[in-house]
Chain A
Amino acid sequence: MTPRRDHSVPGSAQVESALPLSPPVFEILVSLATGPLHGYGILLDLRERTQGRVRLETGPLYRHLKRLLEDGWVEEADPPAEDEGEVDERRRYYRISALGAAVLAAETRRLQASLARVREAGVL
């Protein structure tokens, strides 16, 4: 097993080194930032939010989830209250961790900065 890293204090250097995020990872984090979701829920949210422009399939999704769990950017969550009636052990819920949220915020800042530079250059 990978030695568990201590994720409680997200150092900014640690966060910066993870950037830029690949598009699927970015989108998964955005989906989870809205609340806990199960795997299929992430795919549905993605399809709806991006109108099918970002396509992710089952296999790649779980590979990313595994990485994200290992890195501590995402953690398992309790099912939301409305789903508690039909608990299905095959269906796990995921939510974004503090570290994940920090990474997402850093990535968003990076993208904003890039956008600003493009605008300043008068390209857009």
Chain B
Amino acid sequence: MTWLERVGSHLYRWVLRAYPRSFQASFGGEMLETFRRELADHRARGAFPAVLYLLRALGGGILLGLQERLEGRRTGGGGGHDSFLRDLRWAVRSLARDPRFAFTAVLALGLGIGLTGAAFSITWGTLLRGLPFPDAEELVHFARGNEEFNSLAVTPHDYVAWSEMQRSFTGLAAYTEAIVNLNESGGFPARVEGAALESGAFSLLGVAPALGRTLLPEDDLPGGPDVVVLSHALWSGRYGGDPGILGREILLNDRPHTVVGVMPRGFGFPLAEELWIPLRLDLRDHVPGTGRLDAFGRLRPGITLEAARSEFQGISQELARSRPGTNAGIRAILESYTREYVGDDFASVVWALLGGATLVLLVACLNVANLMLVRGVRRAREMAIRISLGAGRRRLLRLIVAEGVVLAALAAVVGTPLAAAGVRWFAGTGGEPGTFQLAHGGSVPFWWDVTLDGTTLAFILLAALLTLLAAGVVPALRVWRTDPNTFLRDQTRKGSARTSPLTHAVVAGELAVALAVLSVAGVMAQSLLQVTRVDQGIRTQGITLARLALPDARLGVSEADFPDLESRRLLWEGLVTRLESLPGVQNASVATAVPFLRTFREEVRIAGRPPAGGGEEGVQAWFGVADPGFFHLLGVAALEGRLLGPDDRLGAEPVVVVNRSFALRHFPGGSPVGESLILRSSAGEVGAGSSDEVVARIVGVVPDLAMAPVGDEDPSGFYRPLAQAGRPNRTGIFDRRELRYAWVMVRPAPGGDGADALRTAVSALAPGLPLSGLQTLDRAARTATGQYRLYGTFYLVFGAAALFLAILGLYGVVAYAVGNRTHEVGIRIALGAGRRRVLGTVLRGVAGPVAAGLGAGLLLSLWVGDTLELVVLGAQAGDPMVLAGAVVLLALTAAVAALVPAHRATRIDPGQAFRAE
């Protein structure tokens, strides 16, 4: 039995208790058995249908069981629903008589389940749903690790050795990114992200093409045919969904490839790719210890990830022994595929969202429970009378349940649009590539699907119903247990019902949870403020930019046009000259690291300093190449020293400028200007040696220009002049060294069109080459801060909701207490008690629970802050200022919520108070 079936059976057994005992006795065992088989049938069709079925069966089981209980005996004919419908009608009438209660309960609960529904949809769509393939949880991603890093690329030699040695997987497949210039005769060029992969990858994933075929083993052979498989989006967009696409030739990096297949809609393996070509892995092309691949595998049925990890531990040790030169200290890193790509950072944030929403739901539930308790006390009299007049207790219970069902349905009606709005907003903001910094870049994984679907709606309804039943049962039990006559006698003698200790406890609990949510919201608000400050100092307005990539010999493309570094440098400089000569352009610039867009880190050493740890390691810093116009375009002045200038050319002294964070981090208290950086080749590459080192003098300090992703803890970085960049005579691994790509930025003159200018200049100087990522710098800035705005706003909404609910709860209780004490207060006032004194008495009544709630809330806040591991920027969970602020805010609103009804008490006219009795 699988995990799902075990848990499912457990839950279903519990759900069966909703049925009357006699029903359980006759059918319980059979139903469980049938449920198991049905679940197994659905499981065979995939995890998703199985979970859907499970939710349906559980939700439906509870409702049917209750219905069976309510109906008790069968009333005959086909109309078994009649009596339940009658109860529902009664419940609606009863709620309509108390609209304030109904409105408050529905609003509170709707708010809670709306937020939880949105958060659950996000969690389900991004973390839980997984890949849309059969048994997708068996897919495992491979990386390599050493003492320092956990995410090194897999080398071809290791990959082949692993494939031959391993027993845990039905197979492994290697892949790597293939970003290509796509064109066809008579077409316009486009930059497309694809993957080169082994033909076995498709069958391991368990996915069939929508059209034609996927890759075949013969495509994989050296010298095999140049074939390509297209994504559904590329096929339906660029090629208009033409069914005659199969067999057609298209150009990838100027080389003809035959289209052999189209994948189904939504397939974008490994992350968000649009075409697939054969990898043609040949070990003879690679020196052992070099090369970069990704790899994944499918676990054999019954083998756990843990077992596979321990097998690979052995394999790694064996390789370290047999190949000490390349594999000493190297481990294989195995991780579930989706977890690898989504990453723990994102997952922890999403769980934090769900956690926050659940806390709000908890506050809402406590709120409603409280309202029902209060109402239950008021209605206890009515119920006791009904019982003494001969109404069955069973009937009263049925009425309470019916009321719960009606309220739950109404709350779902309120909550669903709220959840839909949250989901739409997430899909809109989060659907923008680059918003989330996932483990493998900013692309939106193809398996994400954040929608408000049946599962979520079922979840919402179930949550609402369980809450109301829980809240409705307590007052019902009170009636159930007491003897009606005693109850009525006590009521008459006391004259007024006191607020019960249970009510006070619930209020305290509500305040405690609200405080926890508020304190987290406060931290998030701080972080949000921090984010909005990030872009200060950069003149982003009006700038349009796009990326241009030059053909790449590694993908077998002729690079006749730009064969060497010098020709590429000339192209970039020529582009800027051409752009600035266009009438619609004010100025232009070329750089590899532009604000808010992803760049890379580079290892450097600071001249005259012993490397950290005594080894060869330097420091990691964000790195960009920029032309002289770059800082001018952004409106940035040097904080110290000078900017990069037109005289910093090849042959002149190599120079760099560093950013403010670099200066503060590595030259605290001093000035970096005049010091030197040693730029090294990256470790482990063929031909790396000291002859490649360049010593560059630091000539200036510039502000941090958002080189690092927003929120990065070490944003230190530096820029080299475009004219001095590059490393002749070496086959680099990273394009940036070779000036193979750059961002081209223009600030158009008033009335000019930046995008037009970019297209004009590029088509003149580099015809046939595509621009990609065309956007404004403003948009890039918005996207880069998107995830923080998203989390921050969600939490602010949670905080506001919690605060609102706490006010509602407290107000309700105080108003009720005052209402019940009308008589007493009237006597006091008649006897000459001052208004102030009356006010004090009323407030003292709630001071206890408020203080207890805030105290417990403080402890809860600290615990929640620790547990949620919030991704926050410039703020700390459990920040005393934030906590203090939240406590004060809540205490003040509590005071107001209590004062309003208390104040009303002082206006009581004694005469009226007596008449009311």
Partners in one complex: yes
**B425 proximal to A (CB < 8 A):** no
**B57 proximal to A (CB < 8 A):** yes
B65 nearest CB neighbor, chain A only:
A59
With A2-B74, A40-B37, A70-B74 in contact, do A62 and B31 touch (Cβ < 8 Å)? yes
Q: Are A59 and B57 in contact (CB under 8 A)?
A: yes
**B667 proximal to A (CB < 8 A):** no
Q: Are A63 and B74 in contact (CB under 8 A)?
A: no
Near A by CB (< 8 A), chain B positions 27-55 give: 27, 29-35, 37-38
Q: Are B30 and A43 in contact (CB under 8 A)?
A: no
**A22 proximal to B (CB < 8 A):** yes
Q: Are A90 and B35 in contact (CB under 8 A)?
A: no
With A58-B57, A59-B57, A60-B60 in contact, do A66 and B37 touch (Cβ < 8 Å)? no
Q: Are B64 and A43 in contact (CB under 8 A)?
A: no
Q: Are A59 and B33 in contact (CB under 8 A)?
A: no
22 contacts between A and B (CB under 8 A): A18-B77, A18-B78, A21-B78, A22-B78, A25-B78, A39-B30, A39-B31, A40-B37, A43-B34, A43-B38, A57-B57, A58-B34, A58-B57, A59-B57, A59-B60, A59-B64, A62-B34, A63-B64, A63-B68, A66-B23, A67-B74, A90-B29
Contacts of A66 in B (CB 8 A): 23, 26-27
A-binding residues in B (CB < 8 A): 23, 26-27, 29-35, 37-38, 56-57, 60-61, 64-65, 68, 73-74, 77-78, 80
Give the bracket for the number of chain A residues in contact with chain B: 20 to 34
A17 nearest CB neighbor, chain B only:
B77
CB proximity of B77 to chain A, nearest CB, Å? 8
Q: Are A65 and B27 in contact (CB under 8 A)?
A: yes
Contacts of B68 in A (CB 8 A): 63
Contacts of B31 in A (CB 8 A): 39, 58-59, 62
Near B by CB (< 8 A), chain A positions 1-47 give: 2, 17-18, 21-22, 25, 38-40, 43
- Could you tell me the distance between the alpha carbons of A59 and B61 in the complex, rounded to whole angstroms? 6
- Could you tell me the distance between the alpha carbons of A58 and B32 in the complex, rounded to whole angstroms? 9
B-binding residues in A (CB < 8 A): 2, 17-18, 21-22, 25, 38-40, 43, 57-63, 65-67, 70, 88-92
Contacts of B29 in A (CB 8 A): 89-90
Q: Are B74 and A91 in contact (CB under 8 A)?
A: no
Most buried by A among B34, B38, B73: B34
Most buried by B among A40, A60, A88: A40
A69 nearest CB neighbor, chain B only:
B26
B16 nearest CB neighbor, chain A only:
A59
Q: Are B38 and A58 in contact (CB under 8 A)?
A: yes
Q: Are A91 and B33 in contact (CB under 8 A)?
A: yes
- Could you tell me the distance between the alpha carbons of A92 and B35 in the complex, rounded to whole angstroms? 15
Most buried by A among B30, B56, B61: B30
Contact of B34 among A21, A61, A70 (CB under 8 A): A61
Q: Are B64 and A91 in contact (CB under 8 A)?
A: no
* Known pairs A39-B31, A43-B34, A61-B34 / 7 extra A-B pairs, C-beta < 8 Å: A58-B34, A62-B31, A63-B64, A66-B26, A67-B74, A89-B29, A90-B29
- Could you tell me the distance between the alpha carbons of A25 and B78 in the complex, rounded to whole angstroms? 10
Contacts of B56 in A (CB 8 A): 57
- Could you tell me the distance between the alpha carbons of A43 and B35 in the complex, rounded to whole angstroms? 11
CB proximity of B841 to chain A, nearest CB, Å? 54
Give the 6 A-B CB pairs with smallest separation, nearest first.
Answer: A90-B29, A59-B64, A40-B34, A39-B34, A62-B27, A58-B35
Contacts of B37 in A (CB 8 A): 40
Contact of B30 among A22, A57, A67, A91 (CB under 8 A): A91
CB proximity of A102 to chain B, nearest CB, Å? 17
Contacts of A61 in B (CB 8 A): 34
- Could you tell me the distance between the alpha carbons of A100 and B60 in the complex, rounded to whole angstroms? 27
CB proximity of B15 to chain A, nearest CB, Å? 9
Contacts of B30 in A (CB 8 A): 38-39, 62, 90-92
